[in-house]
Structure 1
Amino acid sequence: MKRTRIWLLVFILIMAVSFGVILSGRAKEDRGSKIAGIYQEGSAIYSIALDSVKKPYSIKIKGEKGINTVTVEPGRICVSEADCPDKSCVNCRWISKPGQMVVCLPNRLMIKIKNEAAGGIDGLSR
């Protein structure tokens, strides 16, 4: 009976520490501004600070299979139009959180959101 209580306390302690680690990781994710990196064929072509965007705008990016239209609004970004056959990049809709991404394989385009506090984006800036 005493052993069971000890193991139960150890288990509760491990769970509490794990919960604390998860919460501290989320708090770190919320710090800093959100940066959207737009890559084509593995190279950074744009770096956009989403928190600094005041008015919506679009960027047309030519790829192997056509043109992708990337729409940027305050705090979020999406591929709004694409000439690729399956349009899965358009179906991803808006992304706005660090770690989210949109990929268009036919046009070799990727949009990924990172947190500036967690390292930002390599490459060009807009």
Structure 2
Amino acid sequence: MKQTMQGFFRLLKPYDYLIILLLIVGSFLPFVLFETQAQSQTGDRYAIVRINGQEVDRYNLEETTSLEKTYYPAKGQYNIVEISNGRIRVKEDNSPDQIAVKTGWIAKNGQTSICLPHKLVIEIKQSGAEDYLIY
């Protein structure tokens, strides 16, 4: 193992090290760009609740201090959604996998909480941000 690593390093030229370094630094570029874009957006954040692709509620997270609401997507299905201190979550539902409940609180622009069996999607949007529809 040690000999193969030494043989590998002997094959590298001086510019190969520069290329490897640039690739490593460049791999962090998307993270920096997306984080910068998220921080630059101003305006109110909204939580959009959709069931089966149709918007059923929209909450301003900056103004709504505390709220708990139960949704009934279909017969025998329920989702309890809770809003508190500028964040939202699916507190409880009766889906078998509990993915939306395990997702926990979401508060940042672009975050989603999805309950697939009930076709319920909660998405955080910033006012003035580009509009992408998540089904």
Query: Normalising by the residue count of structure 1, what TM-score does the alignment of the two structures yield?
Result: 0.72
Native 8 Å contact 2:38 2:109 kept in 1: no
Alignment correspondent of 1:59: 69
Matches of 1:86 and 1:42, distance apart in 2: 20
1:84 equivalent to 2:98? Answer no
Matches within 5 A, 1:96-115: 96-115=107-126
Q: Which runs of 4+ in 1 moved over 3 A?
A: 119-122
Q: Does 1:70 align with 2:63?
A: no
Q: In structure 2, which of residues 86, 92, 105 is the aligned counterpart of residue 94 of structure 1?
A: 105
Q: Which runs of 5+ in 1 are unaligned?
A: 5-10
CA RMSD of aligned residues (A): 2.5
| Unpaired stretches in structure 2, ≥5 consecutive residues | 1-14, 16-21
CA distance in 2, matches of 1:52, 1:120: 21
Size of the aligned set, in residue pairs, is: 107
Q: Secondary structure of 1:26's match?
A: helix
Which one has more relative contact order, counting CA pairs under 8 Å at least 6 apart? Answer: 1
Residue type of the partner of 1:58?
E
Bigger CA radius of gyration: 2
Give the Cα–Cα distance (whole angstroms) in 2 for the partners of residues 48 and 94 of structure 1: 15
Greater fraction of residues in strand: 1
How far off its partner does 1:53 sit? Answer: 1.3
Change (3 A) 1:117 1:72: same
Q: Secondary structure at the match of 2:78?
A: strand
Deviations 1:56-81 (A, max 9, x none): 22110002351000001121000000
- Give, in whole Å, the separation in 2 of the partners of 1:51 and 1:81: 23
CA deviations over 1:9-33 (Å, ceiling 9, x no partner): xx8xxx7xx69x826523333x111
1:118 matches 2:129: yes
